[in-house]
Amino acid sequence: MSIQALSADGNLITYTDRRRWLWSLSLFWPIMPVISCWMAASSGQVIWFWGTLIVWYGLVPVIDHLLPTDGSNPPEEVVPQLEQDSYYRVLTYLTVPIHYFTLIYTAYIVGTQNLPWHAVLGLALSVGVVNGLAINTGHELGHKKTKLERWLAKAVLAVVGYGHFLIEHNRGHHVDVATPNDPASAKMGQSIYGFAGWEIPNAIRRAWGSEKARLARSGKGPWTLENEVLQPTLITVVLYGGLLLPFGWIMVPYLILQALWGWFGILTSANYVEHYGLLREKLENGRHSPLPEPAQL
């Protein structure tokens, strides 16, 4: 299907998404840990619990290196039409229940099967990887305006316990990006571990403060169900509590580890590289001396 639009100079632009139907494969990523569990059960080999990590950190980088550079991004003029295409929206919506299914199913496996510790570790990190993608989904849905999409954003962020991201990213990060006030922007020379210790607690603090100020303007306190930081947090509490009750205390380290890896292994590491580069570009364009390379991950 081709899309046409006029450029600023009046020329007709035609764009065809040649990968349109391949985007449906995106639904495969968040269910990969479940597939790993099935493969482990059928083969009897616990290495399959590490399968998602092997693909993510081993196979995908190799394929990415071998494939040619993709220069087929759509021109800005056709983006509004793509945003209105229900096909892309439905794919995004469908990932939300898949994230829930993956977390609940893998929690069931950990809670009911006598797995060795290294299998539990591999599965927790694998779920953390795909739940890091849940933050990406929440990011996209959180930029939409409809109530449905904002609630879907809160729901998917709740899977990984990062519901405050909706508020801090939109109201804080977009205002202060690449400045000292932005928790999601690494400072010059800062290690990724120092950055994580700065970003995660301060993002929570700023999101809470933003909602507290918003509600205060309406004469309300922060401890209300209208608080958009509390809403996804309560979903997380109910979800995690609902897994702890039937499956026992093994859920505590399992849920904490998958959540922390989703935060650190996906979001924080991406922010560290991306926004350090943005700060570097700003300073160099301003004729400041070049920045040193980021610390090794």
Residue 229: which of 173, 148, 164 has the closest Cα? 164
- In this prediction the pTM is 0.89
Residue 56: which of 130, 154, 142 has the closest Cα? 130
Judge contact between 167 and 214, C-beta under 8 A.
Answer: no
**How do residues 101-116 score in pLDDT, each as one tens digit?**
999 999 999 999 999 9
Residue-level pLDDT at 227: 97
Give CA–CA dist 158/232, Å, rounded: 5
What are the distances in angstroms from CA 234 to CA 7, 102, 200, 226, 238? 46, 20, 19, 12, 6
Which pLDDT band, with edges at 50, 70 and 90, does 293 fall under? Answer: very low
Give yes or no for residue 275 having a pLDDT over 70.
no
**How do residues 90-103 score in pLDDT, each as one tens digit?**
999 999 999 999 99
Average pLDDT, the chain: 89
Residue-level pLDDT at 297: 31
35-52 b/e (C-beta count within 10 Å ≥ 16 → b): ebbeebeeeeeeebbbbb
Work out the average pLDDT over 166-181: 89
Look up residue 33 and give its two tokens.
């840990």
Give CA–CA dist 146/153, Å, rounded: 11
Half-sphere exposure of 259 (CA within 13 A, CB side): 20
In this structure, of 39-43, 128-132, 262-266, 293-297, the range with the lowest mean pLDDT score is 293-297
**How do residues 66-90 score in pLDDT, each as one tens digit?**
988 877 788 888 888 888 889 999 9
Residue/partner pairs of 206-214 with CB below 8 Å, 24 or more apart: 206/168, 206/172, 207/164, 207/165, 207/166, 207/167, 207/168, 207/171, 207/172, 208/164, 210/167, 210/168, 210/171, 210/172, 211/167
Q: Position 41: which residue type?
A: A
Residue-level pLDDT at 4: 74
Question: What percentage of the chain reaches a pLDDT higher than 70?
Answer: 92
Helix 86-112 and helix 251-261: axis angle, to 10°?
150
Which pLDDT band, with edges at 50, 70 and 90, does 289 fall under? Answer: very low
